[in-house]
Structure 1
Amino acid sequence: MASLLRRTKRALGLPREPDVDAPREDAVVVMMARNSERQAAQRAIESFERHFNRWFQYPIVFLNHEPWDKRFIRALSRATSAETHFEVMSESDFGYPDGVDRDAARASMVRQKQLDWPHAGKEGYHHMCRFYSGKFYNMDILKKYKWYWRLDPDTEFFCSITYDPFVEMAKRGHVYGFTMAIWEVLSTVPSLFRHTADYKDAAGIPSSPLWKAMVDPSPLPYPLRSLTSLLGNRDRHGDAWNGCHYWSNFEIGDMDFFRGSQYQAYFDAMDRRGGFYFERWGDAAIHSLAVAMLLHPSQVHHFDDIGYRHDELWQCPANALGGQLPESEALGKRPWQPEVEGGIGCRCECKGYKERRNHPAVCLNKLTAPNTPGSQPWLPWT
């Protein structure tokens, strides 16, 4: 009977019951946190557990650059029904690369702070960006997994996720999934796009639809376009990165892509430039430019049905008509906001967040527009 109900829900295009007996992917949930973030991390894991992982129980790996406090381990182990691991990162993973002048890098961070750049002056932040950009995927504890789902402390979920995103991405040939797309603070990454574009040209990588979506052509006629190439965030032709990128605080990805020779060669080339320290290159920008350079739009998915907040940014979808599974024993009696024509959410409750998203949709529209007819956004229960 339960199987028949799931098939019926799919046929009607409605959310489905969590299938707790379905096969899982080789996947892991990852959170980097400091001991001082214990309460914020615990709230995030409890929200993740309540809205998803109590049904699917994917293992969680916690990462720290310092030895773990026993109170953190105890609190976070109790916050989830899933298997937990607490890993201390090595200095080679979470630290300066060989050949970097550390005194000069620290002096640059002081100047960045004087310029009031976001997160400026925080040495650990720069290490984190470099780690998530390239070192993360090859950690020994993660090598047995193909997929990862990144979570950060100070995160909450608004909707029940009753399907398995890893399974759905694998089934559809997706490589990278995100919830939000926002503008980069381009003044903090003045040379990143030029170095990336030069790398792309040298490697003979053609411009994909996603790459074109991230690039604004020079306003000058073609013979004169290169005259603007000396301006920031432009390639040698004078075309500019518009700054749109995937916000990496939520991302689900195929680690085989990030471990692959193409991505690692790009990361190594950027790492040698020193921009993780002498500028403020973030993993979100690195991931986004690599995805745009190396993937087709059909390999990237926007999880518009997942309600999510981190820091001061959020998205929360409207609930699907007739799709709230009111008799569900798995979901229980949790409340939800009203159902709306065209809604796609399941048991979404935005806790006073009145708008469906609080960030401008310009970048989201740019990065989802390149989809071809065969790669339109999907509802996970179809």
Structure 2
Amino acid sequence: MLCRNWELPDVLRSMRSLEDRFNKDYHYTWTFLNDVDFTELFKLETTAMASGDTQYATIPAEDWNTPWYINETKYNECVKKFTEENIIYGFSKSYRNMCHFNSGYFYKQELLKNYDYYFRVEPGVEYFCDFQMDPFRLMREQKKKYGFVISIIEYEETIPTLWPTVEDFLHEYPDAQNANSAVEFVTNKEPIGFAVLDVETNSAYNLCHFWSNFEIGDLNFFRSDVYEAYFTYLSKSGGFHYERWGDAPVHSIAAALLLDKNEIHRFEDIGYYHNPFHTCPSSNNMRIGKRCICRDEDEDDEQPISDLEPNSCLTKWWKYGSGKRFIREYFHEEDYLEKFNA
């Protein structure tokens, strides 16, 4: 979890939700990262909330701060322009640092070097259903490298040159794209179904991305030479700072192009909420069996936005990605039922 000291109440809410729904049975270690030192109170309360160990680290300045090759004058002018145009988080340099860090540095932190997989958790999120199976086991046994729950479209004004930069990267590294990639997931613009996603963009990118506030992934994918080349190329272009590239489209395009599409998994079985979007298993029997309590209203008594609203990219993933599959399909039926009925 990448978080701030002042976010402690929301950190504890997320921890409580995930512990109750999953980690109380597995006791995985919680790793907390911050660009400043954590307070003793933060450490005390998060340690008390965790069923397993906790560990804390301050991110090195060179991994967090603006890279040396970013022109400060141009940077300030771009931030001012984005602020005047009221582009979401366009005013914030710290947000840019966070997206840059999440795109190219989180997996390099010393505390993570002994791990092969990570489960990204954000402050203030909620998990609606019992997991009943270990998603890390699925990732390991089924050789999955990237897992998500929600897929939506990105704000195009935050990434005007991201896709052209990716195309330049592929031109320079012609062997980078996987032969069985999910390239159509991020490039096909044809409407699908009745709740159609019909987005006009200024590039070949259709703006679809995996909402990266929930990720379960293989750290060795991000440590690979091809991903490092991809991130370095994007970083040196300056787009994280001169524009406001989010780590979600950066991770998503990388997964869609560099991985075999069957190495990407949508966790259909996991109910999840991050304001303003939510997802819950579509099967009523599964909701009952997994003891789901799906959110009907948010804190402002407004209906949260379903992951299958017209701005959802899930139908594109089902058609152009690895399809629609449940966790139980990957394991022997008796193995699943033993855990399901425990």
Q: TM-score, normalised by structure 1?
A: 0.77
Q: What is the aligned partner in structure 1 of residue 10 from structure 2? A: 40
Alpha-carbon distance in 1 for matches of 2:168, 2:201: 14
1:377 alignment partner in structure 2: 325
Once the two structures are TM-superposed, the CA of residue 359 in structure 1 deviates from its matched residue by 4.8
Aligned pair 1:273/2:237, yes or no? yes
8 Å contact from structure 1 (residues 178, 252) kept in 2:
yes
**8 Å CA contact 2:277, 2:305 repeated in 1:** no
Corresponding residue for residue 247 of structure 2: 283
- Identify the residue that residue 360 of structure 1 maps to in structure 2: 309
CA contact (8 A) 2:275 2:304 kept: no
Q: CA deviation digits over 1:147-188, x for unaligned, max 9?
A: 000000011110011110011111111110000000011121
Which structure 2 residues correspond to residues 168-317 of structure 1 after superposition, within 5 A?
Answer: 168-205=138-175, 206=177, 208-216=180-188, 233-234=202-203, 240-317=204-281
Offset at residue 56 of structure 1 (A): 0.7
Deviation track 1:16-66 (CA, whole Å, cap 9, x = no partner) reads xxxxxxxxxxxxxxx011111010111111111111010011101111111
Aligned-pair CA distance for 1:200: 1.1
The one-letter code sitting in structure 1 at the alignment partner of 2:82 is: Q
Give, as a single letter, the amino acid of the residue that structure 2 aligns with 1:357. S
Q: Distance in 2 between matches of 1:51 and 1:177?
A: 18
Q: Which residue of 2 aligns with 1:347?
A: 291
Is the CA contact (8 Å cut-off) linking 1:130 and 1:283 kept in structure 2?
Answer: yes
Q: 1:158 aligns with which of 102, 124, 128?
A: 128
> Whole-Å Cα distance in 2 between the matches of residues 208 and 215 of structure 1?
15
Distance 2:169 2:320 in 1: 23
Unaligned runs of 5+ in 2: 191-199, 298-302, 334-342
Per the alignment, in what secondary structure is the counterpart of residue 56 of structure 2?
A: strand
The 3-state SS of whatever aligns with 2:209 is: strand
Equivalent residues of 2:269, 2:326 under 8 A apart: no
Q: CA offsets per residue over residues 64-104 of structure 1, 9 Å max, x none? A: 11111221111111111110011110111111112212343
Take 1:45 and 1:213, find their aligned partners in 2: how far apart are those partners?
32
What is the percent sequence identity of the aligned residues?
32
Aligned twin of 1:222? none
Q: Give 1:232 shift.
A: 6.7
2 CA distance for matches of 1:114 and 1:75?
40
* 1:271/1:371 CA distance change after superposition, 3 Å: closer
Separation (CA, whole Å) in 1 of partners of 2:71 and 2:224: 29
* Cα deviation, residue 318, structure 1: 4.4
Measure, in 2, the Cα distance between the counterparts of 1:204 and 1:149. Answer: 31
Letter in 1 for 2:183: W
Contiguous gaps of at least 5 residues in structure 1: 1-30, 219-230, 235-239, 324-336, 340-344
The alpha-carbon distance between structure 1 residues 349 and 376, as it changes in their structure 2 partners (threshold 3 A), is closer
TM-score normalised over the length of structure 2: 0.86
Please give the alpha-carbon distance, in whole angstroms, between the structure 1 residues aligned to 2:160 and 2:251. 17
- State the number of aligned residues: 313
After superposition, the Cα gap between the structure-2 partners of 1:371 and 1:281, relative to the gap in structure 1 and judged at 3 Å, is: closer
Q: 1:360 to 1:232 in 2, by over 3 A?
A: closer
**1:21-100 alignment runs, 5 A limit:** 31-100=1-70
Separation of aligned partners in 1, 2:306 and 2:57 = 34
User: 1:45, 1:80 within 8 Å by CA — same for their partners in 2?
Assistant: yes
SS at match of 1:144: coil
**8 A Cα contact 2:128 2:270, kept in partner:** yes
Q: Does 1:105 align with 2:75?
A: yes
Q: Which amino acid aligns with 2:121?
A: L
Tell me, in whole angstroms, the C-alpha distance in 2 between the residues paired with 1:149 and 1:102.
34
RMSD over aligned Cα atoms: 2.2
SS class of match (1:87): strand
User: Higher Cα Rg: structure 1 or 2?
Assistant: 1
How far, CA to CA, are the matches of 1:360 and 1:128 in structure 2?
28
- Note the C-alpha offset of 1:108: 1.5
Q: How many Å apart are 1:371 and its aligned residue?
A: 4.3
Cα separation, 2, equivalents of 1:217 and 1:371: 14
CA distance in 2, matches of 1:111, 1:260: 35
Give the deviation of 1:290 after TM superposition: 0.6
The residue identity in structure 1 corresponding to 2:106 is F
What letter matches 2:187 in structure 1? V
Deviations 1:312-345 (A, max 9, x none): 1110124553x6xxxxxxxxxxxxx6x4xxxxx6
Range 98-107 or range 122-131, more displaced:
98-107
Which stretch of the first structure deviates more once superposed, 117-126 or 273-282? 117-126
Contact 1:176/1:251 (8 A) holds in 2 = yes
Partner of 2:197: none
Q: Secondary structure at the match of 1:92?
A: helix
> Which amino acid letter does the alignment assign opposite residue 80 of structure 1?
A
CA–CA distance in 2 between the matches of 1:367 and 1:318? 16
